[in-house]
Amino acid sequence: MVKVSVIVPVYNAKKYLAQCLDSILAQTMKEIEVICVDDGSTDGSGEVLDQYMQQDERVKVLHRENRGYGAAMNAGLDVATGKYVGIVESDDCILPEMYGTLYEEAVAEDLDVIKSDAFFWYEAIGYQRNTHVASLEPYYDRTLEDVDRNIFFDFYMNIWTGIYKREFLTYEKICFHESPGASYQDNGFWLQTMIYGKRVKWLGKAFYLYRQDNEASSVKSRDKVFAMTREYEYVEKLLLGREDYQYLSYCYYYKLLRHRGNFLRIADAYKQEFCRQIQTDYTKYKGSLRGFGGLERWLQKVVLDPEQFCEEAIQTRHNIEERLQDADALMIYGAGYRGDRVFRGLVNEGYYDKISCFAVSETPSESVLAGKQILKIEEAVKNYPKALVIIAVVRGSGMYLQMVQKLAELGVFAYMDGSDIEENYYIL
């Protein structure tokens, strides 16, 4: 009996494919099938898949003309036979105990969906960081139901850290939007599973290695301007067709929320046009934002004067990039959650080699993070006196003020706020 059907959508992923498949086939739970959907690859990925199919009878390969990520995923769902379904992206990897752990919990508690944490993963620099959300600690490792539904949306948004009961997906008619290319179709699938899941659980463990250093990843594309917008229009149409009006506010809120990240991701040449979409959507859906002050203030700035907003946003980023490029080296002051986000923002923009070290106020518990030293701030300033210090905590917080004071004591008065990186760079 197949317990978990693992769907692997593949398009020109030869560089990472063997590593990905090896991690799936190394699962401690052997009752899996691995459904690889070759979506018209031209780089030899199809041949790699065929070799694995010949070597392991659990591997099934579907070769298709290129029709996009959503169509490939639906093809995999159509032929899946497992009690539960998992998803692994072809450039990622998973730990050996992932599906055994998830399946055991899912069956014991009759779950529609069970998910876990993940690791942000830069393989080349040996970096892993858990996505665990500390504020959600009371909700980890317990079965959540409809009364908890708002909490579902607070966990890290993804479709691949868990497994889904196949019967649940079929009954609720949950599938992927078959739009062209690899264009954020995971958003629609995620939203549907969160809306319709009746018994859902998140484990406080991480099994999934989410690669951040694949330059061909669709999330790094600068020209897919309206792809995410169309994805939420697809979900809206589904909900209206099913007369599930009570769930529309989730769709509208996340459509507006994704606008901010999308604005940061796309190239400057497209920002003005995209702001007109934001204007339209804010006018229609602003009622879904009650209580979400930070996002609403950002959207209001866009809507009030899109042209000025775009000009200022582009200039602000230009000024930040000028400072980063002119600096002899970069020092990230703070190695916690904010330090991690600033680090990933800098690495994604190509500044890894320029980062001299992480600095902390107290004696560090670890000596190295992502190939960079973690030094006490006094030692860091002494060793790298010309480095631009980036304060990686919330701007204006008590900790921020203490760090500014500490820098002043060390004779450092020129620094950058890490919030500038977080607010102006697209960080996954």
- Is-contact 120 156, C-beta < 8 A? no
DSSP 306-367: HHHHHHHHHHHHHHHHHHHHHSSEEEEE--SHHHHHHHHHHHHTT-GGGEEEEEESSPPS-S
**What pLDDT does residue 214 have?**
76
- Domain range spanning residue 405? 316-424
**What pLDDT does residue 101 have?**
98
Q: Looking at residue 160, what DSSP letter applies?
A: S
- 394: domain CATH number? 3.40.50.720
Q: Which of 10-14, 100-104, 285-289 has the lowest mean pLDDT?
A: 285-289
What is the share, in percent, of the chain residues with pLDDT greater than 90? 89
Average pLDDT, the chain: 94
- 222 in a domain, yes or no? no
Q: Can you tell me which residue has the tokens 């897919």?
A: 224
Residue 274 has pLDDT above 70, yes or no: yes
From 269, 304, 339, give the residue that closes a domain.
304
Nearest to 245 by CA among 200, 288, 291, 190: 288
Residue 224 has pLDDT above 80, yes or no: no
**What pLDDT does residue 228 have?**
87
Using CA atoms, how far apart are residues 408 and 405, in angstroms rounded to an integer?
A: 5
Residue 219 has pLDDT above 70, yes or no: no
Using CA atoms, how far apart are residues 186 and 184, in angstroms rounded to an integer?
A: 5
Return all residues near 56 (Cβ < 8 A) that are at least 6 apart. 25, 34
**What pLDDT does residue 216 have?**
67
What are phi and psi for residue 400, nearest 5 degrees?
Answer: -60, -45
| SS3 state of residue 221 | coil
- 87: domain CATH number? 3.90.550.10
- 72 in a domain, yes or no? yes
Residue 55 has pLDDT above 60, yes or no: yes
Q: Are residue 43 and residue 181 in the same domain, yes or no?
A: yes
- 310 in a domain, yes or no? no
**Res. 294 pLDDT band, cuts 50 70 90:** confident
**Number of structural domains in the chain:** 3
**What pLDDT does residue 72 have?**
96
Average pLDDT over residues 230-252: 95
**What pLDDT does residue 301 have?**
94
- Is-contact 424 313, C-beta < 8 A? yes
- Is-contact 226 232, C-beta < 8 A? no
Q: Rounded to 10 degrees, what is the CA torsion of 11, 14, 16, 19? A: 110
Q: Which two tokens stand for residue 156?
A: 């890290």
Q: Are residue 101 and residue 198 in the same domain, yes or no?
A: yes
Residue 217 has pLDDT above 70, yes or no: no
From 214, 242, 276, give the residue that closes a domain.
214
Q: How far is CA 245 from the centre of its chain?
A: 28
**What pLDDT does residue 292 have?**
67
From 192, 214, 236, give the residue that closes a domain.
214
- Check: pTM over 0.85? Answer yes or no: yes
| SS3 state of residue 83 | coil
**What pLDDT does residue 139 have?**
98
Nearest to 274 by CA among 290, 287, 261: 261
Q: Which of 269-283, 285-299, 390-404, 406-420 has the lowest mean pLDDT?
A: 285-299
- 311 in a domain, yes or no? no
**Res. 347 pLDDT band, cuts 50 70 90:** very high
Q: Can you tell me which residue has the tokens 């775009």?
A: 310
Q: Are residue 176 and residue 232 in the same domain, yes or no?
A: no
Q: Are residue 90 and residue 163 in the same domain, yes or no?
A: yes
Using CA atoms, how far apart are residues 372 and 17, in angstroms rounded to an integer?
A: 29
**What pLDDT does residue 120 have?**
94
Q: Which two tokens stand for residue 338?
A: 């904010």
Q: Are residue 284 and residue 419 in the same domain, yes or no?
A: no
| SS3 state of residue 372 | strand
Q: Are residue 24 and residue 90 in the same domain, yes or no?
A: yes
Residue 373 has pLDDT above 90, yes or no: yes
Q: Which helix (H) or strand (E) holds 281?
A: helix 268-285
- 269 in a domain, yes or no? yes
Q: Are residue 417 and residue 340 in the same domain, yes or no?
A: yes
Q: Are residue 9 and residue 93 in the same domain, yes or no?
A: yes
Residue 338 has pLDDT above 90, yes or no: yes
**Res. 428 pLDDT band, cuts 50 70 90:** confident
- Is-contact 55 28, C-beta < 8 A? no
**What pLDDT does residue 284 have?**
94
